[in-house]
């Protein structure tokens, strides 16, 4: 299949791996930022084929996973109200809140609907003028342009029954926070190709200059990742720190100017809480004051609702790359995709879900002891 199989060619993969083994002389530690990249690495076993000592650190690039617990609880508090339609992408429905999830809430009678675009939620508001439609707007820079256009379109239509519960997060501030942590072991980054397709890579240039850490913009197929790892390794071995672009078929340095303009017209940068991590300054987006009428958190007065994570879930350690899913005492037992304790076990981009789907087990299980 053109444009798919060509990026999964086993012969080319073997050659890239051989070149990587010839190139690496030290046990480098590279973080892939995106959860989609994590799933490819784990599903294909690439992380287990690297040179001895080289390690992939799985980063916080799962949009579902980093959505804070209180956002889910706020969404459920809104959805439980009479006359409200809560619209969301499907992967948010099974993410656990403090006491339940959106799917269970729908089973109990709440009008929670799966949509495939924020414009679908705007259309629902047009079709149901007697109902309030709230769209759960989460994600990184990749989903922000479409969400911005939905608000802009709703404003042009004068839809007073449409609003968004916004929980957008930004990649560069998270990378900076990781690099400034005393426990940071990251020596290079594979940047998420789809984020850079929107934003370009100029935002990474100051990070590279300040922290002297290579950043390689990388795609999502096996050959993309192998080439990205090789490019990062060559920089590390050569003592270089630059932004390089592996994902040339989709990304340009300046990104997509029209998408950036749409985001800037509707959203502004704000501090944002990340699930399991806490609040990071200037790491999120919120609606600009001129669009405050579309802010569901204000409309339904749920900003003051706060939540506490399940103490057994180590989502924070998973999302920062400090821990592996197999480090969790609940992994694969009390926490499974069917009965998750935290978001990383639910999402199709979650690290715990990736490990579980690939059959990865805890060390104690491998050794035949109880976990």
Domains of the chain: 25-311 (3.40.50.11740), 315-358 (no CATH)
**For residue 370, what pLDDT is reported?**
38
Distance CA 96, CA 327 (A): 20
Give the Å distances, CA to CA, from 270 to 69, 84, 95, 120, 285: 18, 27, 24, 26, 5
Q: Which of 146-160, 232-246, 294-308 has the least mean pLDDT?
A: 294-308
Distance CA 63, CA 86 (A): 19
Beta strands 111-114 and 84-88: pairing type? parallel
Whether 1 has a pLDDT exceeding 60, the answer reads no
Q: What is the pLDDT of residues 123-175, one digit of tens each?
A: 999 999 999 999 999 999 999 999 999 999 999 999 999 999 999 999 999 99
Six-digit token pair at 94? 């099974």
**For residue 163, what pLDDT is reported?**
98
Greater pLDDT, 332 or 2:
332
Whether 201 has a pLDDT exceeding 50, the answer reads yes
Distance CA 90, CA 156 (A): 27
Distance CA 247, CA 219 (A): 5
Whether 31 has a pLDDT exceeding 50, the answer reads yes
- Per-residue confidence at 367, pLDDT binned at 50, 70, 90? very low
Model-level pTM? 0.93
**Please, what is the Cα angle at 92 between 108 and 195, to 5 degrees?**
165
Distance CA 214, CA 354 (A): 26
Q: Which of 14-28, 146-160, 265-279 has the least mean pLDDT?
A: 265-279
Whether 277 has a pLDDT exceeding 60, the answer reads yes
Beta strands 162-169 and 278-287: pairing type? antiparallel
**Please, what is the Cα angle at 316 between 311 and 318, to 5 degrees?**
110
Q: What is the pLDDT of residues 241-266, one digit of tens each?
A: 999 999 999 999 999 999 999 999 99
Helices 10-23/222-238 angle, 10° precision = 10
Distance CA 357, CA 242 (A): 34
- Per-residue confidence at 303, pLDDT binned at 50, 70, 90? confident
**Please, what is the Cα angle at 270 between 267 and 274, to 5 degrees?**
110
- Average pLDDT value for residue range 324-336: 94
- Per-residue confidence at 2, pLDDT binned at 50, 70, 90? low
Question: Which H/E stretch holds residue 164?
Answer: strand 162-169
- Per-residue confidence at 363, pLDDT binned at 50, 70, 90? low
Q: Which of 42-56, 158-172, 195-209, 308-322 has the least mean pLDDT?
A: 308-322
Whether 371 has a pLDDT exceeding 60, the answer reads no
The mean predicted confidence, pLDDT, of the chain is: 93
Greater pLDDT, 120 or 341:
120
Question: Which H/E stretch holds residue 157?
Answer: helix 144-157
């Amino acid at each position: 299949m053109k444009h798919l199989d060509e990026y999964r060619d086993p012969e080319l993969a073997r050659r890239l791996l051989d070149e990587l083994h010839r190139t690496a002389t030290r046990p480098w530690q590279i973080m892939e930022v995106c959860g989609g990249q994590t799933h490819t690495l784990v599903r294909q076993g690439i992380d287990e084929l690297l040179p001895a000592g080289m390690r992939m650190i799985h980063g916080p690039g799962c949009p579902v996973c980093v959505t804070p617990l209180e956002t889910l609880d706020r969404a459920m508090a809104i959805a439980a109200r009479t006359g409200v339609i809560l619209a969301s992408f499907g992967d948010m429905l099974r993410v656990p809140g403090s006491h339940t999830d959106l799917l269970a809430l729908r089973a109990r009678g709440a009008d929670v609907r799966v949509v495939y675009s924020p414009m679908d939620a705007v259309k629902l508001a047009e079709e149901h003028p007697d109902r309030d439609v709230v769209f759960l707007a989460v994600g990184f820079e990749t989903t922000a342009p479409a969400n911005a256009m939905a608000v802009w379109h709703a404003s042009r239509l004068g839809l007073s029954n449409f609003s968004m519960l916004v929980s957008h997060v930004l990649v560069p501030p998270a990378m900076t926070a990781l690099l400034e942590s005393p426990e940071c072991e990251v020596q290079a980054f594979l940047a998420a190709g789809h984020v850079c397709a929107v934003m370009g890579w100029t935002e990474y240039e100051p990070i590279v200059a300040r922290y002297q850490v290579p950043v390689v913009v990388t795609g999502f197929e096996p050959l993309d990742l192998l080439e990205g790892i090789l490019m990062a390794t060559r920089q590390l071995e050569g003592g270089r720190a630059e932004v390089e672009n592996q994902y040339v078929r989709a990304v340009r340095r300046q990104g997509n100017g029209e998408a950036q303009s749409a985001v800037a017209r509707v959203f502004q940068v704000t501090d944002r809480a990340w699930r399991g991590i806490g609040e990071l300054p200037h790491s999120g987006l919120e609606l600009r004051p001129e669009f405050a009428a579309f802010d569901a958190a204000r409309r339904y007065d749920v900003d003051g609702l706060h939540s506490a994570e399940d103490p057994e879930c180590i989502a924070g350690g998973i999302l920062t790359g400090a821990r592996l899913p197999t480090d969790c005492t609940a992994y694969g037992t009390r926490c499974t995709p069917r009965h998750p304790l935290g978001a990383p076990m639910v999402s199709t981009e979650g690290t715990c879900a990736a490990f579980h789907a690939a059959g990865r087990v805890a060390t104690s299980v491998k050794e035949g002891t109880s976990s």
